[in-house]
Amino acid sequence: MTIGYLTLSLSYLLILSGPWIIRRWLGACLRPRAVALLYFFSIITTGLATCTGLALLLLRFLSASLLVDMGNACGGIFAFGHGFLATNHWNYLIALGLAAVFLLQLAFLLGGGARLICASYRIGKKNRSAGCRCPALPLITGKPWTGHVHLTLSAGMKAQTSGLLKSRIHISRAIVRHLPGSELMAVISHERAHCLGRDNFLVAVAKSFSLAMFYLAGPRMAYREMRSRLEKAADLKAAAQTGGTLVIARALARIAASEQAAGEKTLAMPVSGDGNVTRRLQALARDPGENAHGWRRLCLFLLLAGVALAFFCTSALAVSGADQRQAFVCFTEHQQGGSRICKLDHSK
């Protein structure tokens, strides 16, 4: 059991260090969207591992408390119960603290996710009610699909996508009025890249998990880096479709200069992205070439992640031993039957 807890702790620490490993090893040698997806899966894996760890600790504490309550009625399986919780009142406080953190994390996950979904629906409804389709956009841009873009009356030069699984592009009329054709197409292509990549959905799930793990710095850092990489990936895709990075850089600089106040950014992916326009302009100015050793590092990282997950799952199964599960079954038998002897065989 001690080896199981030690392996569980070490593998969890390795999982927890995932965002820093990605930033150190893979941040500069893979394509931005690939790095963003790695951050996304790192956040999800860390969240699931954290919930599993808390559940295992609660299982140990609660099963021990049940064993203490029932005494030695059913033989040797209850021997552990007289050791831990009953010896010190602080152990009960630790168990209550773990339960509070587990419930609080679950509340943040469900409440934060519901809040983000409502915000996305509200923003999308507001933009749809205040906007309309422009039949002139296909003529201006030369792309028939731009006829589905919605024009809004929002103040300033703004462009964003709203919606989770079925995203829509919303741009202000000021953008159509003030940007030349190539820069206008770059802005629309940037937003279309977000729509095709389901970036709003990725942002919603990642933010919900990072809110749930409010006491950990890794998921929060991974969420910020993920958003930055998604913006960079959309910039590069728009640049490839509209004639180079200078076009999207000029459009981004014009829009950033005209923005007087930040709008609702909860789940809408605006063209100004994560707000760090200077960093995005610097990224566009650099060579987006890929490091030759990038895929080797990625394979090594995936191998390391697989080993860590295998050790975590194996040790978690070992920690949640048969005696802990039988404690709950035994307690249920006693509560339902009323007798001091349950039907389980505790001879082992």
For residues 138 and 275, state if they share a domain: yes
For residues 310 and 229, state if they share a domain: no
For residues 312 and 348, state if they share a domain: yes
Write out the chain's pLDDT in tens, 348 residues: 678 778 888 999 999 999 999 998 888 888 899 999 999 999 999 989 988 888 777 776 666 555 555 554 554 444 444 444 455 566 667 767 777 777 887 887 788 778 877 877 777 677 666 667 776 677 666 677 776 787 876 667 778 888 777 778 888 888 888 888 788 888 888 988 998 888 988 998 998 888 888 888 899 999 999 998 999 899 888 888 887 888 888 888 877 777 644 444 433 444 444 556 667 777 776 655 455 568 888 999 999 999 999 999 888 888 776 666 666 666 566 555 555 556 555 544
Which of 267, 289, 311 lies at the terminal end of a domain, its last residue?
A: 289
Within-domain flag for 92: no
For residues 81 and 132, state if they share a domain: no
CB 141 within 8 A of CB 167: no
DSSP for 11-73 reads HHHHHHTHHHHIIIIITTTS-HHHHHHHHHHHHHHHHHHHHHHHHHHHHHHHHHHHHHHHTTT
For residues 57 and 148, state if they share a domain: no
For residues 2 and 70, state if they share a domain: yes
Which of 249, 270, 289 lies at the terminal end of a domain, its last residue?
A: 289
Task: Print the domain residue range for 333.
Answer: 1-35+43-87+294-348
- Widest CA span of the chain, in angstroms? 84
pTM of the model: 0.79
DSSP for 221-274 reads HHHHHHHHHHHHHHHHHHHHHHT-HHHHHHHHHHHHHH--S----SS-EETTTT
For residues 203 and 335, state if they share a domain: no
Within-domain flag for 111: no
For residues 281 and 301, state if they share a domain: no
Within-domain flag for 107: no
For residues 66 and 172, state if they share a domain: no
**pLDDT digits 0-9 by tens, 94-141:** 767 777 777 887 887 788 778 877 877 777 677 666 667 776 677 666
What is the model's pLDDT at position 323? 62
Within-domain flag for 265: yes
**pLDDT digits 0-9 by tens, 14-24:** 999 999 999 98
DSSP for 179-213 reads S-HHHHHHHHHHHHHHHHTTHHHHHHHHHHHHHHT
Which of 289, 311, 338 lies at the terminal end of a domain, its last residue?
A: 289
For residues 137 and 268, state if they share a domain: yes
For residues 309 and 228, state if they share a domain: no
